[in-house]
């Protein structure tokens, strides 16, 4: 009997961690005190820890491969798992503030790696506050895609600055995205959808994708179907609001 | 929940002590000292104390001043701080030509090199910009609203600086970050294009300055930090060029207590037209002079200038273009157990003019009070009095150290404490 089977937090039939043992508060305050380690700079991110098959040891010379997709507020990690097989050569990371949820995603990925040898080696997760530490993880122009799926709405006006899409934070996202890189947002809260769209529309370094471009992009349909939150909204027959924008060079 | 506390109602004011600050007019026409809510200016050309004229709202600053600064062309002076007021002064008449209200307490200010923009950072990490056009000499200009320029999400901004060529705008914070932003043509629409982040410090960044020479007019950035280092940066890429640990020179490594081995760099001042950087350190009675080798891109300690006898730990440094003088101040606001609330002590080091190789070894000397320009008259104005009880400033230095670490160093909870804090939270209670 393997250790995993003896562990009640893992399902006997699938070998995957059971979500109910990782239940967490619905919302967490992005302003609250942080106790997790933060890399001093993107050069300090230990890739061998996240992607051991791609980076067998930490002192190995840089293979040049870098993380290109970031799922911000990744929740239980559904999107990463779908993207992993769709873009098997691309390194991706989920960023999540809640520690229990991050632990769950970590276990989920490890279990998938065990049950599917050779697969899911390109995805990982970190516990961090993306609103403060994005520049510590990614260099200028490093990312080609950023995802913000069903972010917390923070309805009250005075809490709008806690929203993960805001005019100021878009400056940082524009910095870590390469020119041509794409930012994907979706929500079931109409007011938040309008807000995210308006922030992106008014930013000089983002431009909306056309309907044809959206249709041609294989990622588009994952936005509402791949994540746990998206599936919940779908089950309840809820409407979703999408804003997908491309990073462009500023016209100065 | 310190960040949340910061958002909602700022930090506990009682324990906060503000350091005395000094600024020198670019051609040394005047010197300004701020201590507590007191702004003191001495006119060096005229040899007399300046009376400030502030009829903007009938009052001077009402709480600790946190930032003072002359513009590069010497026409403007800005003061701002805990009373949320940003005051822009004419250095001709010393009239307050504008008094802006910030939503939050102000932690840093900068004036663009051409004098047309004033920027200030509030304690929530937002930097604001206001246009100073139509101002020449003494003419009034209409009070305008400040527009948001950029933001460091929920962090205290400790220093703002324009690059010498005016292309970049730099902002440093308590999260050990330095952001380099392209200063836009239309700043009122925001500064969206980030050039680089200079990352490498492991504690709050306290101060920024540029080393520039004739050969290298675009200059190199130096930064000081709570991690007891001064670092040299290439701002266009954000790369760290060199790190200079000042603990050994400040005599900190001999200390038995580990926590005493760290002392924050509190201020940096580059000596114009030289590659020297004067460094003030939290526990050092004197300054450290660093020299920057611009071709090798290195930074090294050239000399420690100690100040003997007087228990003088500078809290702020200032200099002007060609005087060869480095001005220093020490002091603090709000010392509770003290009868003299707003004292400061000013000292001057001379001899920064020559550039011969051995001048650093022999040159800089700490002037006696009667050797300082306009000696007694100036000291009376800037210090509040001429002589003091020596222990006062040691007490002040201790209070400042505590206050600075409360404000800028993140609390480290022990594992037990952390567990205890967690226990109260719902997400730890695994449902059976
Ligand atoms: C409503 S959930 C959506 C999760 C996932 N994207 C999905 O669609 O299922 C929002 C997530 O964002 C996380 N989050 C909120 N603020 C964050 C921050 N500043 N940094 C990282 N994660 C954050 C929350 O903990 C939560 O898991």
Q: In what order do the strands lie in the sheet with A206-208?
A: A123-127, A91-96, A67-72, A143-149, A177-187, A241-247, A206-208
Instruction: Give the three-state DSSP class for A95.
Output: strand
pLDDT band at residue B333 using 50, 70 and 90 as cut-offs: confident
Give the gap in angstroms from C-alpha B206 to the nearest C-alpha of chain A.
17
Name the residue of A25, A97, A193 whose CB sits within 8 Å of the most ligand 1 atoms, as the mutation to test its pocket: A97
Q: What gap in Å lies between CA B187 and CA B170, rounded to an integer? A: 14
Q: Chain B contact for A63, CB < 8 A?
A: no
Q: For residues A247 and B192, is the Cβ–Cβ distance under 8 A?
A: no
Quick check: B406 pLDDT over 70? yes
The predicted pLDDT at position B394 comes to: 80
**Sign of the four-CA dihedral A100, A129, A72, A142:** negative
Beta carbons of A170 and B192 less than 8 Å apart: yes
Give the gap in angstroms from C-alpha B9 to the nearest C-alpha of chain A.
13
Beta carbons of A35 and B4 less than 8 Å apart: no
What token pair was written down for A84?
Answer: 């992993």
Beta-strand ranges (E) seen in B25-167 are: 30-35, 38-43, 48-49, 65-70, 76-81, 85-90, 96-101, 106-111, 117-122, 126-131, 147-151, 157-162
ipTM: 0.87
Q: Chain B contact for A215, CB < 8 A?
A: no
Other C-beta atoms closer than 10 Å to the C-beta of B210 total 19
Q: What gap in Å lies between CA B80 and CA B123, rounded to an integer? A: 12
Share of chain B above pLDDT 70, in %: 82
Distances (CA, A) of A227 to A76, A78, A154, A217, B118: 8, 4, 20, 17, 46
Query: How is chain B split into domains, by residue range?
Result: 52-199, 207-417
The predicted pLDDT at position B260 comes to: 64
Buried b (16+ CB within 10 A) or exposed e, A64-96: eeebbbbbbbbbbbbbbbbbbeebeebbbbbbb
Paired residues of A246 in beta bridges:
A182, A207
Nearest CA to ligand 1 atom 15: A73
Share of chain B above pLDDT 90, in %: 57
pLDDT band at residue A1 using 50, 70 and 90 as cut-offs: very low
A252 is in an annotated binding site: no
Other C-beta atoms closer than 10 Å to the C-beta of B137 total 8
The predicted pLDDT at position B359 comes to: 66
Among B18-22, B29-33, B191-195, B370-374, the minimum mean pLDDT is found in B370-374
A227 is in an annotated binding site: yes
Other C-beta atoms closer than 10 Å to the C-beta of A222 total 20
Q: Chain A contact for B1, CB < 8 A?
A: yes
Q: In what order do the strands lie in the sheet with B229-234?
A: B205-211, B220-225, B229-234, B239-245
Q: Write out the H or E segment, with its range, that includes residue B402.
A: helix B391-408
Distances (CA, A) of B89 to A71, A131, B18, B20, B131: 48, 37, 22, 19, 14
Q: In what order do the strands lie in the sheet with B316-319?
A: B316-319, B325-331, B344-350, B365-366
Global pTM reads 0.89
Q: What gap in Å lies between CA B149 and CA B157, rounded to an integer? A: 13
Quick check: B412 pLDDT over 70? no
A84 is in an annotated binding site: no
**What is the bridge-based pairing of β-strands B48-49 and B38-43?**
antiparallel
Task: Tell whether ligand 1 has an atom less than 6 A from the beta carbon of residue A229.
Answer: yes
Q: Chain B contact for A9, CB < 8 A?
A: no
Quick check: B354 pLDDT over 60? no
Which positions 101-130 of A are in contact with B (Cβ < 8 Å)? none
Residue ranges of domains in chain A, CATH in brackets:
3-247 (3.40.50.150)
Mean pLDDT of chain B: 84
The predicted pLDDT at position A26 comes to: 47
Instruction: Give the three-state DSSP class for B278.
Output: strand
Beta carbons of B200 and A24 less than 8 Å apart: no
A2 versus A102: which is more confidently predicted?
Answer: A102
Question: Ligand 1 centroid vs A38 CA: distance in angstroms?
Answer: 18
Beta carbons of A171 and B192 less than 8 Å apart: yes
The predicted pLDDT at position B308 comes to: 83
We find that the CATH architecture of domain B52-199 is: 7 Propeller (2.130)
Cβ-nearest to A135 among B199, B202, B418: B199
Paired residues of B325 in beta bridges:
B350
Q: Quick one: average pLDDT of B72-89?
A: 94
Give the gap in angstroms from C-alpha A117 to the nearest C-alpha of chain B.
31
Beta carbons of B190 and A167 less than 8 Å apart: yes
What token pair was written down for B141?
Answer: 């200009």
A130 is in an annotated binding site: yes
Quick check: B339 pLDDT over 90? no
Q: What gap in Å lies between CA B368 and CA B362, rounded to an integer? A: 17
Quick check: B413 pLDDT over 50? no
pLDDT band at residue B332 using 50, 70 and 90 as cut-offs: confident
CA angle B93, B94, B98 (to 5 degrees): 110
pLDDT digits (tens, 9 = 90+) for B129-166: 999 875 554 445 545 789 999 999 989 999 999 999 99
Question: Which residues in chain A are closer than 8 Å to B176, comparing Cβ atoms?
Answer: 40
Alpha-helix runs per DSSP H in A9-129: 47-50, 78-86, 99-115
**What is the bridge-based pairing of β-strands A143-149 and A67-72?**
parallel
For residue A152, indicate whether it is catalytic.
yes
Nearest CA to ligand 1 atom 24: A73
What token pair was written down for B6?
Answer: 């910061």
A29 is in an annotated binding site: no
Q: Chain A contact for B223, CB < 8 A?
A: no
pLDDT band at residue A192 using 50, 70 and 90 as cut-offs: very high
Task: Tell whether ligand 1 has an atom less than 6 A from the beta carbon of residue A77.
Answer: no
What token pair was written down for B385?
Answer: 């009095």
Mean pLDDT of chain A: 89
The predicted pLDDT at position B397 comes to: 81
Quick check: A48 pLDDT over 80? yes
Quick check: B254 pLDDT over 70? no
Q: Chain B contact for A156, CB < 8 A?
A: no
Q: Quick one: average pLDDT of B201-214?
A: 94
Q: What gap in Å lies between CA B184 and CA B116, rounded to an integer? A: 13
Residue from A152, A194, A211, A234 carrying the catalytic annotation: A152
């Amino acid at each position: 009997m393997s250790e995993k089977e003896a562990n009640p937090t893992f399902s006997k039939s699938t070998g995957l961690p059971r979500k109910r043992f990782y239940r967490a508060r619905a919302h967490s305050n992005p302003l609250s005190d942080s106790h997790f380690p933060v890399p001093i700079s993107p050069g300090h991110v230990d890739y061998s820890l996240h992607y051991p098959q791609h980076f067998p040891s930490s002192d190995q010379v840089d293979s040049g491969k870098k993380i290109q997709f970031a799922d911000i507020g990744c929740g239980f990690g559904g999107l990463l798992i779908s993207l992993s097989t769709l873009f098997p050569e691309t390194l991706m990371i989920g960023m999540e503030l809640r520690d229990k949820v991050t632990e769950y995603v970590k276990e989920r990925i490890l279990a998938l790696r065990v049950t599917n040898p050779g697969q899911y080696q390109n995805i990982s997760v970190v516990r961090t506050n993306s609103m403060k530490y994005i520049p510590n993880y990614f260099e200028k122009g490093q990312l080609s895609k950023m995802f913000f799926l069903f972010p917390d709405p923070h309805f009250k006006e005075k809490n709008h600055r806690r929203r993960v899409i805001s005019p100021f934070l878009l400056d940082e996202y524009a910095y870590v995205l390469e020119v041509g890189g794409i930012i994907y947002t979706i929500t079931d809260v109409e007011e938040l959808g309008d807000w995210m769209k308006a922030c992106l529309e008014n930013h000089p370094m983002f431009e909306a994708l056309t309907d044809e471009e959206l249709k041609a992009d294989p990622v588009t349909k994952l936005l509402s179907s791949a994540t746990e939150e998206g599936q919940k909204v779908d089950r309840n027959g809820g409407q979703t609001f999408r804003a997908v924008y491309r990073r462009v060079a500023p016209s100065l | 929940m310190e960040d949340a506390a910061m958002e909602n109602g700022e930090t506990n004011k009682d324990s906060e002590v503000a350091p005395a600050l000094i600024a020198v007019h670019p051609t040394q026409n005047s010197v300004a000292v701020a201590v507590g809510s007191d702004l003191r200016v001495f006119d060096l050309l005229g040899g007399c104390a300046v009376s400030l004229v502030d009829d903007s709202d009938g009052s001077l600053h009402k709480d600790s001043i946190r930032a003072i600064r002359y513009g590069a062309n010497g026409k403007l002076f800005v003061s701002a701080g805990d009373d949320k007021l940003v005051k822009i002064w004419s250095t001709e008449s010393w009239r307050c030509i504008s008094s802006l209200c910030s939503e939050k307490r102000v932690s840093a200010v900068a004036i663009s090199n051409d004098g047309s923009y004033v920027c200030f950072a509030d304690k929530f990490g937002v930097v604001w910009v206001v246009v100073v056009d139509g101002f020449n000499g003494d003419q009034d200009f209409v009070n305008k609203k400040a527009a948001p320029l950029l933001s460091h999400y929920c962090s205290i901004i400790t220093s703002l600086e324009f690059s010498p060529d005016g292309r970049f705008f730099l902002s440093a914070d308590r999260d050990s970050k330095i952001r380099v932003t392209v200063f836009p043509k239309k700043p009122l629409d925001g500064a969206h294009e980030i050039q680089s982040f200079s990352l490498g410090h492991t504690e709050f960044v306290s101060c920024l300055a540029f080393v520039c020479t004739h050969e290298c007019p675009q200059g190199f950035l130096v930064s000081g930090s709570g991690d007891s280092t001064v670092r040299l940066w290439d701002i266009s890429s954000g790369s760290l060029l060199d790190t200079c640990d000042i603990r050994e020179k400040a005599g900190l490594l001999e200390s038995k207590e580990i926590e005493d081995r760290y002392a924050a760099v509190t201020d940096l001042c580059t000596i114009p037209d030289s590659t020297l950087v004067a460094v003030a350190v939290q526990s050092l009675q004197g300054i450290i002079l660093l020299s920057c080798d611009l071709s090798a891109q290195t930074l090294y300690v050239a000399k420690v200038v100690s100040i003997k006898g007087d228990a003088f730990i500078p809290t702020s440094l200032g200099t002007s273009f060609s005087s060869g003088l480095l001005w220093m101040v020490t002091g603090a606001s709000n010392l509770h157990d003290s009868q003299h609330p707003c004292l400061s002590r000013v000292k001057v080091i001379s001899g920064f003019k020559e550039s011969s190789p051995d001048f650093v070894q022999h040159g800089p000397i700490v002037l006696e009070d009667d050797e300082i320009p306009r000696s007694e008259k100036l000291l009376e104005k800037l210090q509040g009095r001429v002589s003091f009880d020596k222990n006062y400033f040691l007490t002040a230095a201790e209070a400042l150290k505590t206050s600075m670490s409360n404000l800028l160093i993140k609390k480290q909870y022990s594992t037990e404490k952390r567990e205890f804090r967690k226990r109260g939270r719902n997400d730890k209670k695994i449902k059976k």
